[in-house]
Amino acid sequence: MNKQIAIFASGCFWGTEYFFDKQDGVMFTDVGYIGGNIENPTYKQVCSGNTGHAEAILVSFDSNIVSYEKLCKLFFETHNTEQENRQGPDIGTQYRSEIFYLNSQQKEVAQSLILTLKNKGFIIKTKISKASKFWEAENYHQDYYKNNGGSPYCHTYEKKF
């Protein structure tokens, strides 16, 4: 096993987690907050739009089973990359599309995939940023759709690659 970490923000973290949990090679996911300016933010604080955090997921994966590139492709194929600071009905900077890279290889993969999508005619509002501290969200947000049923209301799958 070769455990690695990836961090993605693509709107409501419940919907993002829903798709990544189904991917072979993903060992677990945590939903939380990243990219802001206060320590240990709460959901209420992040929703105010004043902390600078994005709702995000931390993906722990076995790179012997699934590559970081494949996870990035799943990220791009499960949300609307043309929307800035929103996904569907969820509006605000906390719902932005952003990849938080942990090393130069992850950064290069993300940049390459964005270029590929732009060359295919897609509009990409996704940002690429160096990962900062990831703060785990409250327990009731973890595995939301697994625990409560239903399916994402602002995330759908669209083949792009």
What is the distance between the terminal CA atoms of the chain, rounded to a whole angstrom? 27
Q: Which of 12, 47, 72, 154 is catalytic?
A: 12
Amino acid at 38: I
Please name every residue paired with 97 in a beta bridge, in sequence order, or none if there are none: 10
Tokens at 59, concatenated: 């993906």
Q: Supply 113's token pair.
A: 């995939």
What is the rounded distance in angstroms from the CA atom of residue 69 to the CA atom of residue 75? Answer: 10
Active site residue 72: no
Which tokens sit at 157?
């799958």
Catalogue the active-site residues. 12
